[in-house]
Amino acid sequence: MAATLIWISLLVGLLAGLGGTEIQQTTLHPLVGRVFVYTLDHDAFLQLPEHVAVPVTYHAHLQGHPDLPRWLRYTQRSPHHPGFLYGTATPEDRGHQVIEVTAYNRDSFDTTRQRLVLLIADPEGPLLPYQAEFLVRSHDVEEVLPSTPASLFLTALGGLWEPGDLQLINITSALDRGGRVPLPIEGRKEGVYIKVGSASPFSTCLKMVASPDSQARCAQGQPPLLSCYDTLAPHFRVDWCNVSLVDKSVPEPADEVPTPGDGILEHDPFFCPPTEATARDFLTDALVTLLVPLLVALLLTLLLAYVMCCRREGRLCWPCAPSIQMVHHCTIRGNTEELRQMAASREVPRPLSTLPMFNVRTGERLPPQVDNAQVPLILDQH
């Protein structure tokens, strides 16, 4: 009883502690068509003292759902590195979303929850119809998500693009695009796709990189045509054979909505179906199909009957057989009958070995009136 009271008091205290814990709430403003990055820092999230390193992992999900929304991703290299929530919202995601994040302290097993309120809205300013995507093989996705590397990439890309407002549209790990995990060798990275948009048209240098001639050189294992200086090197090693340019300045024509018709095909000179079918008599075909096999079967039956019944061996040659052959036949038959009669009337004594109590050594037989139960099996024992 006392143990039960102790457990009840502990449970009440735990529930009271959980009820008194306030969940931190942060309001963020992602923009449609712009990359969104939120860093889950150990110090700011758990309010740890300075110069204290503890392993922490995170679990994030949409409120009321087990997973994140489709446009948002979570990544963390290890418990000793910060986590990141990143992605690009689409027009369908516009509105209000709540993300719940739980942090787990792997040393003390403490947990801390935080609620992120996302108010997704349309961006202000001009549209970005010119979009270019680059594959950076010298970095992982966690290395370009912070603001400093992202700003450095946009600044270096400004030397290859005409002056304009460059904006990050999306950042995707190469593993999410079908890439392979690199070998654990120093300098090998997973790679990351970075999509940049601008209101200014593409430069001549970028157009030459994405030209068919450059793609043909890449297919042969040669470097593409690059008419300008690579300002991204040496900080970013870009795979110029995986550069894609998208021009959305010209709107795509809307798909034509099919209009329902009356169900009658239009006149086509290449398709002339017959207007009416001529009458046809199938009686002849039916008779041929049925009677021909029956006639063939009847002929085969008659032929077999003639061979089996009318052409027996010896029927026509019996009257003309030689007399000497008939004498031999009768002689053999008579001799056979005589031998059978002699075998049936002969009296031959039974073999001694088949009689009861036969002595193999002396050849003596016991008389029938002797009691077999009193006779020893071996006579020499007397």
Q: Which of 7-21, 135-149, 192-206 has the lowest mean pLDDT?
A: 7-21
Mean pLDDT within 19-41: 84
**What is the arithmetic mean of pLDDT over 47-53?**
71
Residue ranges of domains in the chain:
22-123, 125-251
Whole-structure pTM over 0.75, yes or no? no
Tell me what the mean pLDDT of segment 38-44 comes to: 85
- What is the rounded distance in angstroms from the CA atom of residue 189 to the CA atom of residue 129? 31
pLDDT tens figures, 160-219: 887 668 889 999 999 988 888 887 777 788 899 999 999 888 888 888 888 888 888 988
Please report which confidence band the pLDDT of residue 10 belongs to, taking 50, 70 and 90 as the band edges. Answer: very low
**Residue positions counted in the chain:** 382
- Walk across the sheet containing 95-105 and list its strands: 24-28, 111-120, 95-105, 56-62
Q: What is the pLDDT of residue 92?
A: 93
Maximal C-alpha separation, the chain? 141
Instruction: Give domain 22-123's CATH number out of 2.60.40.10, 3.40.50.300, 3.30.460.80, 3.30.1330.10.
Output: 2.60.40.10
| The most confident of 193-202, 266-275, 329-338, 360-369, by mean pLDDT | 193-202
Classify strands 24-28 and 111-120 as parallel, antiparallel or unpaired.
parallel
Flag whether pLDDT at 75 surpasses 50: yes
pLDDT category of residue 360 using cuts at 50, 70 and 90? low
Question: Comparing 348 with 243, which gets the higher pLDDT?
Answer: 243
Q: Is 350 left (phi over 0), alpha (psi -120 to 50) or beta?
A: beta
Yes or no: say if 194 and 153 are a contact pair by the CB < 8 Å rule.
yes
Does residue 367 surpass a pLDDT of 90? no
Q: What is the pLDDT confidence band of residue 136, given thresholds at 50, 70 and 90?
A: very high
- How much is the average pLDDT of 307-332? 69
pLDDT band at 321 (very low <50, low <70, confident <90, very high): low
* Mean pLDDT score, 99-114: 89
Q: Tell me what pLDDT residue 63 has.
A: 93
